């Protein structure tokens, strides 16, 4: 097998992507489908799930609030039943959380961010890891962290705390699961263009008393390449990590951010 062949994920991979009816998760799911994988996605929004299924009838899908352990248990069981097992788990679900000074953040906002962004990772792992241990197809776990998982992020402390925690979770699990031939890596997206980032920019602009355009320009000045990344950039890395080319990559927190210098 040559290097180009190694870049192609094995056809028939069984992939579960959380929080994947829209945004980065949807781009990852679509990329795996184009690579002839069998894909199951879940999302909290039933209408978004239905739209995702309408876009691609090959997609398996379920509805779940990933902060709810019982709902996660249900979708993982459903995914494994529909796919006939599991080879790749993409722990993608997450929310932006509140924007504001630490003393102004409400406890409910903090707890919801931790539950959605971090606890959900554990809920999926506890159910999926035993199944991944049973597959012989070089199983893998991809966790969605953020550039905020390697840099400080003022006024976004709940979000940053979860993303740093995910990086630590991945590095620890890579050691724990390596003897079972399970690779574990994190992707750290930078400033990803789209509606969600526009909302983040708007909220931070309001918190700092700036216009949207001024706040956006401030974000771009922090990026060495002076451009945002796309959801497809993130999906391409996920495909690479799931391919034979990534068979010896584990325990890594890989940034896709145009070299974001600071937040």
* Burial track 227-249 (b if 16+ CB lie within 10 A, e otherwise): ebbbbebbbebbbebbbebbeeb
* 153 part of the active site: no
Task: Name residue, tokens 């290097």.
Answer: 3
Query: pLDDT confidence of 1, banded at 50, 70, 90?
Result: low
8 pLDDT exceeds 90? no
5 pLDDT exceeds 80? no
> How many CB atoms sit inside 10 A of residue 225's CB?
12
Name the CATH topology of 3-190+230-255: Rossmann fold (3.40.50)
Q: Which long-range contacts (CB under 8 A, 24 or more apart) does 148-152 make?
A: 148/263, 149/186, 149/188, 149/253, 150/188, 150/253, 150/255, 151/260, 151/262, 151/263, 152/263
The helices-and-strands tally (H runs, E runs) of the chain is 10, 7
For residue 146, give the nearest of 184, 188, 187 by alpha carbon.
Answer: 188
Query: pLDDT confidence of 78, banded at 50, 70, 90?
Result: very high
Query: Which entry of 122, 123, 159, 219 is annotated as an active-site residue?
Result: 159
**pLDDT more than 70, % of the chain:** 99
Q: Phi/psi at 185 (nearest 5 deg)?
A: -140, 160
pLDDT in tens, 185-212: 999 999 999 887 898 789 889 988 999 9
Q: What is residue 215's predicted lDDT score, i.e. its pLDDT?
A: 93
pLDDT in tens, 28-72: 999 999 999 999 999 999 999 999 999 999 999 999 999 999 999
Q: Mean pLDDT over residues 1-7, rounded?
A: 73
Query: What does the angle CA 169 – CA 29 – CA 59 come to, to the nearest 5 degrees?
Result: 125
Q: Mean pLDDT over residues 101-127, rounded?
A: 97
Q: What is residue 255's predicted lDDT score, i.e. its pLDDT?
A: 97
Task: Name residue, tokens 């980032």.
Answer: 197
Which residues of the chain does CATH 3.40.50.720 include?
A: 3-190+230-255
């Amino acid at each position: 097998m040559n290097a180009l062949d190694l870049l192609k994920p094995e056809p028939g991979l069984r992939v579960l992507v959380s929080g994947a009816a829209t945004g980065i998760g949807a781009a990852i799911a679509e990329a795996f489908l184009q690579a002839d994988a069998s894909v199951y996605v879940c999302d909290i929004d039933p209408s978004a799930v239905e739209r995702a299924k309408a876009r691609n009838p090959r997609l398996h899908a379920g509805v779940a609030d990933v902060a709810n352990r019982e709902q996660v248990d249900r979708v993982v069981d459903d995914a494994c039943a529909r796919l006939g097992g599991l080879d790749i788990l993409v722990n993608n679900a997450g929310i932006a959380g509140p924007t504001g000074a630490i003393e102004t953040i409400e406890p409910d906002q903090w707890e919801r961010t931790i539950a959605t962004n971090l606890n959900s990772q554990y809920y999926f792992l506890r159910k999926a890891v035993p199944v991944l241990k049973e597959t012989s197809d070089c199983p893998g776990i991809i966790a969605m962290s953020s550039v905020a998982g390697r840099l400080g992020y003022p006024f976004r402390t709940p979000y940053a705390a979860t993303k740093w925690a995910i990086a630590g979770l991945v590095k620890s699990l890579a050691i724990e699961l390596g003897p079972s031939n399970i690779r574990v890596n994190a992707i750290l997206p930078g400033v990803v263009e789209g509606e969600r980032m526009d909302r983040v920019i708007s909220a931070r602009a309001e918190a700092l008393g700036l216009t949207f355009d001024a706040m956006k320009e401030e974000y771009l000045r922090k990026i060495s390449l002076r451009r945002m990344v796309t959801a497809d950039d993130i999906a391409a890395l996920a495909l690479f990590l799931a391919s034979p080319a990534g068979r010896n990559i584990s325990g890594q927190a890989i940034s896709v951010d145009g070299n974001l210098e600071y937040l």
